Structure 1
Amino acid sequence: MQNTGIRTDWSKEEVDNIYNTPVLELIYQAATVHRQYHDPQEVQVCTLLSVKTGGCPEDCAYCPQAARYSTDVNVHKLLSVEEVIKSALQAKEAGSTRFCMGAAWREVRDNRDFDNVLEMVKGVNTLGMEVCCTLGMLSEDQAKKLKEAGLYAYNHNLDTSEENYENIISTRTYDDRLKTLENVRNADISVCCGGIIGLGEKEEDRVGMLHTLSTLPEHPESVPVNALVAVEGTPLEEQERVSVWEMIRMIGTARILMPKAMIRLSAGRLEMSDEEQALCFMAGANSIFAGDKLLTTPNPSEDRDKLMFQKLDLKPRKSFKEEQVLSES
């Protein structure tokens, strides 16, 4: 059994050994760690809304929102504050406790759109939900403004390993991503950072990404594990879907490396059966995204998720649970 304390000094060899543990043993080890730090019957339900869609100048090979690719994504400008608050309220009523707003920007600019996003954050915060944003690169000053507006978490994924990064994106560097994470952390905002598998990467790239995440000065509080949803018109449109066992290896390894993190079973759930998702929960996943869309890609319906929760005797996690635990201790 691996050392299950909170460590940020993992070696790549240790990560590789965990990742390549026989899969049923890996599930057992990860489930054991999971029970030390989390309620295994509790899963956080999040909603992700695209507040500004398409027209992005980046060239992320997986993304249908890049302006340079011909996809069926309908470009729309930033939604109004009122539209976003209405969507957040609907998400809360449907059982979500975290509301994430995504904008297809390369970086945040100090303009009217950013001012409107700050108003969205303030509005959603008043609903008692954890507010998350994913808006691209961010300066420390912008991060502080988001924090002051009530932002709880900021998502900025590494996507893949540093070695494989240039094969996926050329319009920004790996260091750019790490700098944004640093700016978010310095503003005392919860860090949400994970990646995608199924991009054509090698096993060592998955190990490399997990190694980078688990050796940050502090572990991300939230680690989304995404399976590529190949979209026609993008450079990765021909990529085959990854197997559930590959997702389980990522989730189980992430759980052992980063015991306290929320491991989010993110993109790719639509193709998974309830049984496959149950294995992911056993391996340490304790969060999903609800709603029929995940930004622009299909996602299971809320009704299907509710039935799955009933079948597996899962219960939704409350908002701000970490703060409640700290205040009671």
Structure 2
Amino acid sequence: MNLFNQDVDKGVDWGLLAKKAIRFSNLTLEEGMAVLEADDVELLPIMQAAFQVRHHFYGKKVKLNMIMNAKSGLCPEDCGYCSQSIVSTAPVSKYSMLDKESLLAGAREAIARKAGTYCIVASGKGPTDRELDQVIDAVQEITRTMPLKICACLGILKGDQAQRLADAGVHRYNHNLNTSKANYPSITTTHTYDQRIETVKMAQSYGMSPCSGVIIGMGETNEEIVQMAYALRELDADSIPINFLNPIPGTPLEEAQRVSPIQALKVLALFRFICPSKEIRVAGGRELNLRSLQPLSLYAANSIFVGDYLTTEGQEITADHQMIEDLGFEIEMCALSAV
């Protein structure tokens, strides 16, 4: 008896999971595991069920986000996946926080790429007050003159820093959980999982929309992936970027195996079932892990990054726009209006 027949015998009904998700009824651990461990012949039924949930909350709209690597390298953290960390020997650009004009130029490029959210990302454990001043100066100008939402990702924040970002007009703050609590010590030792949880909650408490996601492929078990989805549901993260590890030479995880395209799609479906009404974004590693199956990802996810990531290249922008058009989907433009 193959796994497909075993799943049927166990009564796995993907359509039922979709109905539970739409009603905000929690999947059990066993149901979550069933998604990740289903036979590959079940992929299309799983994606169809995920699309039912995605379509219920988002229709055929796709949100676009663009990253600006505002400060690169020079990081004291030892995150095993990151080419910018202190333990990495990967050849990456190293520069301090970009000036206001560079950040404004990035915002204009985000608009040209049809992105509704502009993500200002900086390496480091957390921003200095001077770095925060530079970001805030640019954010105030962007929010005053351009139809963009701003997401900041600057590391661990102090309360007064979170307040200043919110007051400046930062709509969303990103701080990824990255992996499970149990797996966290094997990925980084210079900060804790709980500190990440606290930062997400702090951003939320000051009125910024919480954005937090994961990196799949760092030695976590399937059960831990389900637990990661539960944790983000508990955090009430509005936006959930799902990254797939791109093993970069010179980093501690350079020998890790990439997630297969089919398994990556099952992960996206799982997060859609567990966090049904949230923005699920296919993020870093999309091109290398999903490869030719990239279009299928948007049957579960409703958001992607366009352009390059922090230190790795993304898909050419016209290819992303064409992929969305070919699917019969449409880009969701930012609802804000320029002054």
CA distance in 2, matches of 1:241, 1:222: 24
Shift of residue 179, structure 1, vs aligned partner: 0.3
- Correspondences of 1:107-186 after superposition (within 5 Å): 107-109=126-128, 111-126=129-144, 127-186=146-205
For the residue of structure 1 that corresponds to 2:194, the secondary structure is helix
Q: Please say if residues 10 and 215 of structure 1, whose CA atoms lie closer than 8 Å, have aligned partners that are also in contact.
A: no
Structure 1 residue 4 and structure 2 residue 21: aligned? yes
For the residue of structure 1 that corresponds to 2:298, the secondary structure is helix
Partner deviation per Cα, 1:166-185 (whole Å, 9 max, x = no partner)? 11011111110000011011
Structure 1 residue 233 and structure 2 residue 253: aligned? no
Shift of residue 258, structure 1, vs aligned partner: 1.2
Structure 1 residue 212 and structure 2 residue 231: aligned? yes
Shift of residue 316, structure 1, vs aligned partner: 1.0
Counterpart selection for 2:55 from 20, 31, 35: 35
CA distance in 2, matches of 1:19, 1:271: 20
Partner deviation per Cα, 1:24-50 (whole Å, 9 max, x = no partner)? 33212211111211112x111111010
Q: Which residue identity is paired with 2:156?
A: M
CA distance in 1, matches of 2:211, 2:53: 20
Aligned twin of 1:316 = 331
Aligned twin of 2:301 = 285
Identity fraction in percent: 31
Counterpart selection for 2:310 from 268, 275, 295: 295
Q: Please say if residues 6 and 258 of structure 1, whose CA atoms lie closer than 8 Å, have aligned partners that are also in contact.
A: no
Structure 1 residue 24 and structure 2 residue 44: aligned? yes
For the residue of structure 1 that corresponds to 2:271, the secondary structure is helix
For the residue of structure 2 that corresponds to 1:84, the secondary structure is helix
Q: Which residue identity is paired with 2:317?
A: E
Aligned twin of 2:5 = none
Aligned twin of 1:327 = none
Shift of residue 141, structure 1, vs aligned partner: 2.3
CA distance in 1, matches of 2:125, 2:217: 23
Identify if the C-alpha distance between structure 1 residues 273 and 9 changes in structure 2 by more than 3 Å, giving closer, same or farther. closer
For the residue of structure 1 that corresponds to 2:243, the secondary structure is strand
Query: How many residue pairs get matched?
Result: 316
CA distance in 1, matches of 2:23, 2:141: 35
Once superposed, which parts of structure 1, at least 4 consecutive aligned residues long, lie more than 6 Å away?
none
Shift of residue 200, structure 1, vs aligned partner: 2.2
For the residue of structure 2 that corresponds to 1:43, the secondary structure is strand
Give the TM-score of the pair, scaled to structure 2. Answer: 0.88
Shift of residue 160, structure 1, vs aligned partner: 0.7
Shift of residue 11, structure 1, vs aligned partner: 4.9
Identify if the C-alpha distance between structure 1 residues 90 and 103 changes in structure 2 by more than 3 Å, giving closer, same or farther. same
Counterpart selection for 1:269 from 281, 286, 292: 286
Comparing 129-138 and 25-34, the one that deviates more? 25-34
Shift of residue 9, structure 1, vs aligned partner: 6.0
Task: Structure 1: give runs of 5+ residues left out of the alignment.
Answer: 324-329
Counterpart selection for 1:71 from 74, 85, 90: 90
Partner deviation per Cα, 1:96-137 (whole Å, 9 max, x = no partner)? 11100110010133x211111111221222312010011111
Shift of residue 6, structure 1, vs aligned partner: 6.1
Q: Please say if residues 251 and 280 of structure 1, whose CA atoms lie closer than 8 Å, have aligned partners that are also in contact.
A: yes
Larger-Rg structure: 2
Structure 1 residue 221 and structure 2 residue 238: aligned? yes
